[in-house]
Amino acid sequence: MTDKPTVVLGVSGGIAAYKACELLRRFTESGHDVQVVPTASALHFVGEATWAALSGRPVATEVWESVHEVPHVRIGREADLVVVAPATADTLAKAAHGLANDLLTNTLLTARCPVVFAPAMHTEMWEHPATRENVATLRRRGAVVIEPAVGRLTGADTGKGRLPEPEDVFAVCREVLARGVRKPDLTGRHVVVSAGGTREPLDPVRFLGNRSSGRQGYALAATAAARGARVTLVAANTALPDPAGVTVVRAGTALQLREAVLKAASDADAVVMAAAVADFRPAAYATGKIKKREGQEPEPVALVRNPDILAELSAERPRPGQTVVGFAAETDDVLAAGRAKLARKGCDLLVVNEVGEEKTFGSPDNEAVILSTDGEPVPVPYGPKEALAHTVWDLVAPRLGAAGA
């Protein structure tokens, strides 16, 4: 035994198994001991010799090899982390239902450490209600199921279902390893997250909008679901795939977003306003397209204020004891501006991001400081938006009273 963290890399039978070689390298090169446990079908894609050479350990797929060492129990027990990449629909189904007919599924049943699944499959399989329910079950139990990426699949087709890049899977694993077992501490809770950016129409073809991609809000929704919450995601103009196990409600404008958030918030334990809501909307909507006129300057656009949803939620708390979290995007004197905004809005926590042309928008990473009404600022180092999302839930969870309905 060494002091190095022990990682079990489960590989199930999909073409993306070749990408798991790169993931394996990242683990071994950063000081992890890795035991690869491929399924029999995984070996059709990448052979045993490759896994043994890259990991420096023998590999087995069945419980009948080295039986005297009781591998089906030992491997799971000794692991600090089990990551299954790629996780096929079949492996997710077996894990969700506790089947144990090979070494990997036995290992998943005996492991008491955090488990990360990185699914890869065709879009239809990922979207099938059976898979979605299996994913929701695994998340409810505390496993981290990473959302598949969108892009080219095995054949000529494209869609959601690609294994995320090895570096992204590795980043999630590192974060999970650093934090240890994460209990499903939001089980029985309803949380509402708003995401994306509102669009305020000027005429049928034009709008005032902003550059929010919605990724941080989606990360908040996915991580809350992973921690056991029932999640309503109010999404404004996002192009991201729906996170599995999350109810997604669409909203276009600030007024529509307000209506959807207030409706969902009526029985919510926590509301996180990650959406970039337009402060103003055009005073008038032109039902026909606004035309340019030769020799004439354009009419100035008159704007009116939109309601401040975060301030309204904070003042009214549609459900007593509700925790309300806001986001602040600041370009200058970030901390001072954040503190002033926390007081002005009246929320419990405020996640303050520094933004600029190259920062935050659309990027998978984020850096922030979280301010609260009753504690020290919590800095969140530069890292994946999921890591920031988990820190938000780490701060929200203890604020929630006895488990709700």
Kindly provide the residue ranges of all beta strands, DSSP E only, lying in 106-155, ordered along the sequence: 115-119, 144-145, 149-152
Residue 305 to residue 320: CA distance in whole angstroms: 28
CB-CB contact of 222 with 263 (8 Å) = no
CA nearest to 114, candidates 91, 141, 96: 141
- Residue of 116, 277, 349, 400 that binds ligand CTP (CB under 6 A): 277
- Residue of 192, 275, 342, 397 that binds ligand CTP (CB under 6 A): 275
| Residue 157 binds to ligand CTP (criterion: CB under 6 A) | no
| Residue 273 binds to ligand CTP (criterion: CB under 6 A) | yes
Q: How far is CA 227 from the centre of its chain?
A: 11
Min dist CB 187 to ligand CTP, Å, is 26
**Beta carbon nearer to ligand CTP, 17 or 329:** 329
Min dist CB 181 to ligand CTP, Å, is 31
**Beta carbon nearer to ligand CTP, 46 or 328:** 328
Q: Which stretch binds ligand CTP (CB under 6 A): 1-9, 29-37, 61-69, 325-333?
A: 325-333
Q: Which stretch binds ligand CTP (CB under 6 A): 87-95, 243-251, 272-280, 394-402?
A: 272-280
CA nearest to 59, candidates 17, 117, 98: 17
- Residue of 33, 90, 185, 308 that binds ligand CTP (CB under 6 A): 308
**Beta carbon nearer to ligand CTP, 170 or 393:** 393
Min dist CB 347 to ligand CTP, Å, is 8
| Residue 309 binds to ligand CTP (criterion: CB under 6 A) | yes
- Rounded-to-5 percentages of helix, strand, coil across the chain: 35, 25, 40
The DSSP call for residue 253 is: S
CB-CB contact of 304 with 281 (8 Å) = yes
Structure tokens at 381: 């180092």
- Residue of 176, 268, 328, 368 that binds ligand CTP (CB under 6 A): 328
Helix (H) or strand (E) segment spanning residue 161: strand 158-162
- Residue of 65, 157, 279, 299 that binds ligand CTP (CB under 6 A): 279
Q: How far is CA 136 from the centre of its chain?
A: 13
Q: Helices (DSSP H) in 290-384: which residue ranges?
A: 309-316, 334-345
**Beta carbon nearer to ligand CTP, 190 or 341:** 341
- Residue of 106, 306, 366, 391 that binds ligand CTP (CB under 6 A): 306
| Residue 327 binds to ligand CTP (criterion: CB under 6 A) | yes
| Residue 338 binds to ligand CTP (criterion: CB under 6 A) | no
Which residue in the list 101, 106, 210, 366 is annotated as catalytic?
210
Q: Which stretch binds ligand CTP (CB under 6 A): 22-30, 74-82, 126-134, 301-309?
A: 301-309
* Cα angle 78-84-90, degrees, rounded to a multiple of 5: 125
| Residue 310 binds to ligand CTP (criterion: CB under 6 A) | yes
**Beta carbon nearer to ligand CTP, 108 or 254:** 254
Subset of residues 247 to 266 that bind ligand CTP, contact rule: CB under 6 A: 254
Q: Would you say how long the chain is, in residues?
A: 405
Q: Which stretch binds ligand CTP (CB under 6 A): 229-237, 244-252, 271-279, 364-372?
A: 271-279
CA nearest to 272, candidates 222, 327, 353: 327
Residue 301 to residue 286: CA distance in whole angstroms: 11
Min dist CB 260 to ligand CTP, Å, is 12
**Beta carbon nearer to ligand CTP, 42 or 349:** 349
Residue 177 to residue 155: CA distance in whole angstroms: 34
Q: Is 210 a catalytic residue?
A: yes
Min dist CB 400 to ligand CTP, Å, is 19
Return contacts of 238-243, CB within 8 angstroms, 24+ apart: 238/195, 238/196, 238/213, 238/214, 239/213, 239/214, 240/213, 240/214, 240/215, 241/147, 241/150, 241/160, 243/147, 243/218
| Residue 195 binds to ligand CTP (criterion: CB under 6 A) | no
Q: Is 320 exposed, middle or buried (0-12, 13-18, 19+ CB in 10 A)?
A: exposed
Q: Which residues bind ligand CTP (CB under 6 A)?
A: 254, 273, 275, 277, 279, 306, 308-310, 326-329
Catalytic (active-site) positions: 210
